[in-house]
Amino acid sequence: MAALYEGYTLCGLAPAQNLLSSGIQGVEAERDSDHVVVTDSTRSVTLYKVSDQKPLSSWTVKQGQTLTCSAVYNSQTKEYVAVSDGKVSSDVWRVHCVAGGEPVVLFQRGAVRLLDSLLSAPQQSIEEILAQEEVIRWSTNIVTESQQVVIFTTEQKGDHFLYLQRLNPNTLQRYRLEREEPGLSPLSFSASCRDKHICLLYLYPNGHVYQSVVPVRGLGADEGAQALLMPRSLLLALPIGEGLLEAASAQVLDDAHVAVVGVPHPSAGAGKDFLCIWNTNFQTLQAGKEMAGKIYGQLWRYSNKLFIPHGKTLSVIPYEWPKSSLASALGKLRQAKTEGELKQICTAPVVIKTCANDVHKTKTMDVQGLQPSVGQLASTLVSRSLDDPTFYTPSSLAQLVHTRCLCHSVCPDLVLLALERKDYFLCQLCLQFFPDIPEAVTCACLKRHRNEILQTAYSDSFLLPHLKDLSSQHVLLFLQYLQFLYLKYSQDAFPQMHGLRSPSLTQIMDWVCLLLDAHFTVLVMTPEAKGLLLNLHSFVKSQVRLVSELGKIEGSLQELNKMKVKKDVGQYSIEVIELF
């Protein structure tokens, strides 16, 4: 049967004020399945490494500009492509790019251009393919027969159309979708290519999931002006209870499995949204997972991971599915046995699942009995990660920590490895679940977290409003720590710790000034802050005096450099130079 594994958070969300949008325009694959590019609905694009659950880089368009479609990665040029304010020479709907292919630009009026041809002539005229009241609702790009095909759907006065745009040769196919009940429009679309046919999957608010299959090679637009009626077949009739779906999405996984989010579970009560995997051949529910918070009707799939915005987070849910058969659909598939040795790849999820099943089978079993096997696996992974800089398995280590069968004494190098690899998520899990972490390791975690934050690049104008959200007690504690760092690092005899980056005195002073700017009025009114403010005043004053004196020395040295050297006349002389 298909399985949904334990998910994890990739990043937080900033939903729109109307709460109808997640604040994310798109999630696009980057160089491989472990890297994705996330574009928000305003100005920012962030590159994430999925397995580490952390951003690698981020950039923002200028103030006043807005990103109007999700950014994509061009693997040919190693560049990122994004559109701001919707325009090149005409309004752009979306930029699509498949792995190894050239980016394709789809305009809002239906025209398609390769990015290179568009950049070579930015002011070229863009034709209008769509009718006056026809608007694009969804689009994607796939490769079939070694050619790119741009697929997009449109809506016009309640009718929905499918367009297939081939680029070489340049042909266009147009189909009309059959109408559902009056007033119902598809909530989501998903496309795949199988056996030289394009399969379109679409979900309606009444829970009906339809599939339409069209050949890649068909009539072009010049061979018939009328749109061909596209036949459809009912793939699933999802149980949705009373009412209609408002925000849901269906994503095709293979020819027999579909992932659906935002639909109630058949066995759960109303008002709960789930992520489910259905077997379309046998109409059976294979796996389900409740999704907390609001569902926004967005779902992306890359490799064996599903990306779902819900509530205030963007979650990543790993999954797997076996080859479709009646036995597997009913959960009664027997594993084939051979007389010889059965070879199986033993991964961390397999070991964890086996350990969990053993606990459920025997309730009287002592949980401590699992520690040797889990600890041995964790120690092996940690040892190899320390010996081989290119090897690291953060998701497997995080799952092992979640079993609560690990502690610091069983695997003492795990926390230090997390600090070395800057895996702060794993470090946080260890601090949460390990009951026996030594004080020295706790202090090392504290230093690494705080010092790394102090050395992070930031913009004063953007950081200052967020600093005002801190409470006065947190600000007071933070300032005390900054004072401690300043006094410690300003001593000439203080050695730099090996392998641990330390903030410079300038970075410490910048943070002190930012905190004082954000909370000066509150700190002045707080009695506990009086002594601290006096101390801060003294060493800020000394820092200003030091900079002033250095400025004077710099000026004197510059004047010396400007002085002309007199020619040596070969006579003894004494020159007096006065420094002002």
pLDDT for the residue 153:
94
474 and 434 in a common domain = no
429 and 465 in a common domain = no
Q: Which of 332, 124, 159 is nearest to 230 (CA)?
A: 159
Structural domain includes residue 204? no
Structural domain includes residue 224? no
Query: What tens digit of pLDDT does each residue of 307-328 get?
Result: 999 988 999 999 987 665 555 5
- CA separation for the pair 268, 308 (Å, rounded): 20
Chain centre to alpha carbon of residue 74: 18
357 and 403 in a common domain = yes
- CA separation for the pair 554, 478 (Å, rounded): 34
- CA separation for the pair 495, 223 (Å, rounded): 79
Domain housing 476:
460-491+499-558
Contacts of 120 (CB under 8 A, 6+ apart): none
pLDDT for the residue 155:
93
353 and 421 in a common domain = yes
Query: What tens digit of pLDDT does each residue of 494-534 get?
Result: 444 434 457 777 888 888 888 888 888 888 888 888 888 88
Could you tell me which residue, 8 or 579, shows the higher pLDDT? 8
Whether residue 223 has pLDDT greater than 90: no
Query: What tens digit of pLDDT does each residue of 22-52 get?
Result: 889 899 998 888 899 999 887 889 999 998 8
Whether residue 188 has pLDDT greater than 90: yes
Structural domain includes residue 383? yes
Structural domain includes residue 70? no
412 and 357 in a common domain = yes
pLDDT band (50, 70, 90) for residue 121: confident
Could you tell me which residue, 547 or 222, shows the higher pLDDT? 547
Chain centre to alpha carbon of residue 143: 25
428 and 392 in a common domain = yes
Structural domain includes residue 18? no
Which pTM value belongs to this model? 0.57
> SS3 letters for 453-473?
HHCCCCCHHHHHHHHCCCCHH
523 and 435 in a common domain = no
Whether residue 341 has pLDDT greater than 60: no
464 and 551 in a common domain = yes
Structural domain includes residue 395? yes
Structural domain includes residue 247? no
> SS3 letters for 538-560?
HHHHHHHHHHHHHHHHHHHHHHH
Whether residue 80 has pLDDT greater than 60: yes
406 and 469 in a common domain = no
472 and 395 in a common domain = no
553 and 468 in a common domain = yes
Q: Which of 423, 436, 379, 374 is nearest to 402 (CA)?
A: 374
Structural domain total, the chain: 2
pLDDT band (50, 70, 90) for residue 152: very high
Structural domain includes residue 486? yes
481 and 523 in a common domain = yes
pLDDT for the residue 78:
87
Whether residue 545 has pLDDT greater than 90: no
pLDDT for the residue 560:
82
